[in-house]
A and B are shown apart, each in its own frame.
Chain A
Amino acid sequence: MSPYVTPNKKLTFGGCIMIADNNEHNDYFKDILGNFADDSGLDYGMCEMLIKMYITEAEVLIYKIDSALNIGSYKDAIRLIHNLKGTSANIRATEIASIALLAEQALRQNKIEEVRKLIVELFSLLEKFTK
């Protein structure tokens, strides 16, 4: 029996994070962009594109994690959270990376309710890019 019985209402709508095309990003976006560009040595345009892709990919990952938990496939959920953690850290979305780490640890300890809360938090953090 799956211990994760209450689906996260907030996550039932996909593709809701809209990324502005006009390059007028908020400070959250700009901070991460600055860090990523400095660390990677890639140019700003490229970094901006990569971060936009990240936002989309991370959103998909969060939905996938949610679905995996819903059907009780924790092995997949761990791998997906692990990926989210790695990709977030690579792109220098450090807050998300550290929450993903907590979620991964909680899932390994079978603390599903805690994982659920952390996933909601991950989603809000991701929304910060565009709010």
Chain B
Amino acid sequence: MNGIGNIMIIDDSPLDRLIITQLLKKRFSRIKIFEMDDGIDAAKNLIKYDIQVCILDIMLPGKNGYQILKELKANKNTKDIPVIIFTAMDDTASIERALTLGALDYFTKPISEESMKISLPLKIKNAIELYKRNKQISYLSYHDKLTGLNNRRFFEDEMIRLDNENYYPLSFIMGDINGLKISNDIFGHEAGDKLLKAIASVLKRSCNRGNVISRWGGDEFVIMLPKTDRDKVEKICEKIHTSCKQYKGSSISLSISLGYATKKDTFEDITQILKMAENNMYHHKLLEGTSSHSSIIGSLRSTLQEKNLETSEHIDRLALLSRKLGITLGLSENELDNIYLLALLHDIGKIALNDSLLMKPEPLTEAEFEIIKSHSEIGYRIAKSIPELTHIASCILHHHEWWNGTGYPSGLIGADIPKYARIVSIIDAYDAMTNARGYKIAMSSEDAIKEIKKNAGIQFDPQIVEAFCEAMNNKNMEVC
């Protein structure tokens, strides 16, 4: 039914309809023309055939054109469809009447040469374009562009309409996506958008017809469920959680905290019910908060491994080495934990980089190297957004700084580089040298230590290099 333009001609003369049809078809090939010889079911047919402009004769059997026009303008489903009136040339009164009733424009009969060739087809075309633009604007004013769900404005209008005992029990589900900020920070806003769209489709799949699903704010969604009691709402919430778990579209698991409340009686204040649903949602969010964060760290780590950026052996070795070095440096147990975490996650920013770039066997171009270098900043943003990792964020940022100030990203010098970053950079370098990685052949431990010593005061903190050598020489050290 959706042509470039769907036009309805309401005229009781088949010949006039045919003439208009031919004039329009001569100019525009991609239009669809529908005809009626009276206006009895005008509104119904205009909706049924998705009409974008209606050409209406005034003198009709049964209802006349004015009555039809009045009805079309009074119907919320047809009031925006442009109507162009056909009227006798000298009949200024009827032109005035039709335009007053809301007709967009008029043609006079007999159709003049100019009208046939120019203004009739072009006025129709402009009316269709106007209608389509208006339709788009009204769609956007009631929908969220990204997810295609209804927006808050629509929801609030519907809330007034459905706050009626015919629709009780009227339930509300409030939902807040988990991990949207992290997803935006790590993978960029496109990935965040993908997450929002995924949630929107989960919600659509999980809800029933007649439920009003809308995007309430940034990462918040709200669903209004007329004639839905507590048990049914609970089932829908379960359905949403299950669908989220089954979703396999991104590195970050899809998760949403939900809360609901139900209005059963007229005297209950609907805004309070909505507030209750929101409070329940926050309550769940707090309960789920910790687990969702640790699941985020878990999923970050598994992504690193899936991408073959870090093997679990490498991580185990780093953990062991960092502990050994930490003990030699006389660090506290708490500090040892932090070093361990940093050793584990210092390259976390790499998950946002392109696999083919990370695995590229050939030497990198300057531009490619710049991209690779961005992993420390991305890692910093990731760590910043996860409460458990905030304290090591700046160490992640600076784990590629050099003692002499020639590292990246900030070119920090000496003790300005965070201590944990200075420690982990030595361990990471040692492990990289002593283990075969891709095209690189493994070095012996002695050679690697020699290389590190050579770079003391250049790349590495000389004092920590000293401690590192000591730790490496101390074969009997107990680390656990």
- When distances are taken between beta carbons in the complex, the residues of chain A under 8 Å from B61 are 76, 79
Cβ–Cβ contact A42 & B26, under 8 A: yes
Cβ–Cβ contact B117 & A91, under 8 A: no
**Complex interface residues of chain B between 11 and 62 (CB less than 8 A to chain A):** 12-16, 18-19, 22-23, 26, 59-61
CA distance A82 to B29 in the complex (A): 32
Cβ–Cβ contact A91 & B15, under 8 A: yes
Contact digits for B101-141, partner A, Cβ 8 Å, 1 yes 0 no? 00000000111110011000000000000000000000000
Instruction: Decide if B88 is an interface residue (CB 8 Å cutoff).
Output: yes
Cβ–Cβ contact B13 & A86, under 8 A: yes
Cβ–Cβ contact B14 & A57, under 8 A: yes
Closest B residue to A78 using CB positions: B59
- When distances are taken between beta carbons in the complex, the residues of chain A under 8 Å from B59 are 79, 82-83
Q: Which of the 9-residue segments A8-16, A33-41, A119-127 touches chain B? A: A33-41
CA distance A86 to B12 in the complex (A): 11
Cβ–Cβ contact B16 & A90, under 8 A: yes
- When distances are taken between beta carbons in the complex, the residues of chain B under 8 Å from A90 are 15-16, 19, 109-111
Contact digits for B438-452, partner A, Cβ 8 Å, 1 yes 0 no? 000000000000000
Which of A39, A50, A53, A91 meets B113, CB within 8 Å?
Answer: A39
CA distance A25 to B64 in the complex (A): 38
- When distances are taken between beta carbons in the complex, the residues of chain A under 8 Å from B112 are 39
Nearest-Cβ distance from residue A9 to partner chain B, whole angstroms: 27
Give the interface size bracket for A toward B: 20 to 34
Closest A residue to B120 using CB positions: A40
Cβ–Cβ contact A40 & B117, under 8 A: yes
- When distances are taken between beta carbons in the complex, the residues of chain A under 8 Å from B110 are 86, 89-90, 92, 97
CA distance A76 to B61 in the complex (A): 8
- When distances are taken between beta carbons in the complex, the residues of chain A under 8 Å from B22 are 40, 42, 46, 50
Instruction: Decide if A70 is an interface residue (CB 8 Å cutoff).
Output: no
CA distance A53 to B21 in the complex (A): 14
Interface centre among A76, A90, A97 (most CB of B within 10 A): A90
CA distance A50 to B13 in the complex (A): 12
Instruction: Decide if A87 is an interface residue (CB 8 Å cutoff).
Output: yes
Nearest-Cβ distance from residue B99 to partner chain A, whole angstroms: 20
Cβ–Cβ contact B117 & A87, under 8 A: no
Closest B residue to A47 using CB positions: B22
Closest A residue to B110 using CB positions: A89
Instruction: Decide if A54 is an interface residue (CB 8 Å cutoff).
Output: yes
Cβ–Cβ contact B116 & A40, under 8 A: yes
CA distance A87 to B16 in the complex (A): 6
CA distance A92 to B112 in the complex (A): 10
Cβ–Cβ contact A38 & B113, under 8 A: yes
Q: Given contact pairs A83-B59, A86-B109, A90-B109, enumerate 6 new A-B contacts (beta carbons under 8 Å).
A: A39-B112, A39-B117, A41-B116, A42-B26, A79-B12, A87-B13
9 chain-A/chain-B pairs, Cβ below 8 angstroms: A38-B113, A39-B116, A42-B26, A50-B18, A53-B14, A53-B15, A53-B18, A86-B16, A87-B16
| Residues of A bordering B, CB below 8 Å | 38-42, 46, 50, 53-54, 57, 76, 79, 82-83, 86-87, 89-92, 97
List the 10 closest pairs (A to B, CB-CB), nearest first. A89-B110, A39-B113, A86-B109, A40-B116, A41-B117, A57-B15, A87-B13, A90-B110, A82-B59, A83-B13
